[in-house]
A and B are shown apart, each in its own frame.
Chain A
Amino acid sequence: MSAFTTLADYLEHSAERAPDRPALVDPSGRTLTYRELDEAANRVAHWLAACGVGKGDRVGLCLPKSAESVAGIYGALKLGAVYVPVDYTAPAERNRFIFSDCQVKAAIIDARCAAVFDAPGEGGHQPDAVLVCGEPVPETLAKPRWHGAGELKEQPASRPKADRPHSDDLAYILYTSGSTGLPKGVMLSQENATSYVDWCSEVFAPTPDDRFTSHAPFHFDLSILDLYVPAKHGAALYLISEELGKTAASLGPFIDEHRITCWYSVPSILALMTQYGKLEETDASSLRIVNFAGEVFPIKYLRRLRDLWPHADFYNLYGPTETNVCTYYKIPATIPPDRQEPYPIGKICSHCEALIIGDDGKPVADGGEGLLCIAGTPVLQGYWGDEQRTDGAFMTHGGRRYYNTGDVVRPDENGDFVFLGRKDRMVKRHGYRIELGEIEAAMYKHPGVAEAAAIALLDGAGVVTLRAVLSAKDGAKLGAIAMKQHSAAHLPSYMIPDTFTFLDALPQTSTGKIDYQALIRQAGGG
């Protein structure tokens, strides 16, 4: 019986086979070979082990995308530990909650994120050790448990001794928006990731000459393809910084400068590139694969991009964080000028099984519409610390355990699943998953807010926008600028409502709940 290949094995095997090949190009343009990346990861692993980190322990990561963050990820994986990446641009209170929720034993952070563990007056969870990258102020490093990244240089570059993780041992926890206002941790195992990586090998046939982008942040599950597919195949990964990733006009030149062969991002970024990126000036002849996932790609912008880059294969990849990509669809070479509807999410991936169920929880007749449920190796282990939510997310059929995605789909005449929508209050905006309830919870933190409703609206091109409809407590005055500032203090930037509407009172249903349908109608439709 062959040993299970772990995520750390991908790096280690490539470092053995081709130590001098480029593994990673960081945002500053510095290249690390496979040997250099492996040794950097080994040093982090030794440092973590010296802090007491072992198999199963959580290691928090709160820093911008860089060679250090990738070394940190692999350092944790080499010990069989579980990495927990967060959005370093999100409010510190949100990241503090995440690291406390899963009780991280150690954390690697950027100096600018020190407030995550260091806010005055906050009790909260303190990890056993914090490694600070960037330029920490001397007072920070004087505190017990806080260490400067310079300490890594003193660690051995050799492989640490550690128990190999099993296929069902956790590898990472990705926190997603929670409807009650608190993010929830999706627990993913080694095999959840490696079975997906193996599917990518099958469909995209990567070679050591491929050059992949890393556009998505590491707390977003698109990063699993970015980090591990090139590593498995000895190919190169080009990190795109968070700032560069939002600069539409720079991304076309980035593709040309680095002769990128495989692109992967949310549709929003590609749509922005077609609108503002001056792509007619981009060559892009190096691209052979353009993958996108996370939301519906409005057909108007997809058509423009398809025409600009005719030589690349385009794939619409679909799957929640709980399963990663589980269906896929190859976009045709030309998109008919009169096509209005988005393309299907496609057929089930070879490493998964699909089941469509009705509201009664029973499988629907062939061809019928219903909730898409997924079984197989990529399905999450559960939600951290929330057995109830975990139990509620699964159903059993024919002896197999299926995760209910909550997405309503219908197979078309070719057997491709078409996405029809959701029945709950989770939406995708710019590719990010947002529970409208999390936005409302943040609104209620404002002392002047009496009632709050968050709704998602569609513009003419099919792009999602967020609106918050609020009513004020007696005597309180609310304004859009003040609410934007309040939102920025409590929510990640992608959850800040685009517009605010203020009413004397929110419309109610006959049972006294907020009438969301009425709000959507008042706003002109969703």
Chain B
Amino acid sequence: MNEIKDYLRNYIVATFLPGESPENLTDDTPLRTSGILDSIKTLQLISHLEEKYGIQFEAHEAGNVATFDTIDGIAGLVEQKR
């Protein structure tokens, strides 16, 4: 699970927050409401995770701002599906 979180952290920073230090992106930083992930970046992230982990997200899971809003929440979902 920690391996997934670290992967997510590094991927999100490299792709959407270039120049930022990964340590600044905590497990519970709200990604949607803080403006880090908008709807389009969320789609890119989902597409990437689906390919990397060989999983499928349902439309409602990705749209669920409650669970799909933090590294904790996303990693949990990925772990469930693996």
Contacts and interface: CB of A to CB of B under 8 A. Distances in A.
B38 A479 contact: no
Nearest to A497: B35
A494 B38 contact: yes
Interface in A31-69: none
Q: Which size class do B's interface residues fall under?
A: 20 to 34
Contact of A481 (B17, B39, B40, B63): B17
A484 B18 contact: no
Nearest to B58: A249
Contacts of B35: 484-485, 487-488, 493, 496
A481 B24 contact: yes
Q: SS class of chain A's interface: helix, strand, loop or mixed?
A: helix
A485 B20 contact: no
Contacts of B62: 247, 249
A80 to B, nearest CB: 37
B59 A479 contact: no
Given A250-B59, A487-B35, A501 B43 contact: no
Given A481-B25, A481-B29, A493 B38 contact: yes
A246 B24 contact: no
B12 to A, nearest CB: 10
B36 to A, nearest CB: 5
Contacts of B80: none
Contacts of A13: none
A99 to B, nearest CB: 23
A243 B63 CA distance: 7
Nearest to B34: A485
Nearest to B47: A276
B23 to A, nearest CB: 11
B2 interface: no
Nearest to B44: A276
B59 A501 contact: no
Interface string B45-65: 011000000000001001100
A146 interface: no
B21 to A, nearest CB: 8
11 contacts: A247-B59, A247-B63, A249-B59, A272-B40, A276-B43, A276-B46, A479-B20, A479-B21, A481-B24, A484-B34, A488-B34
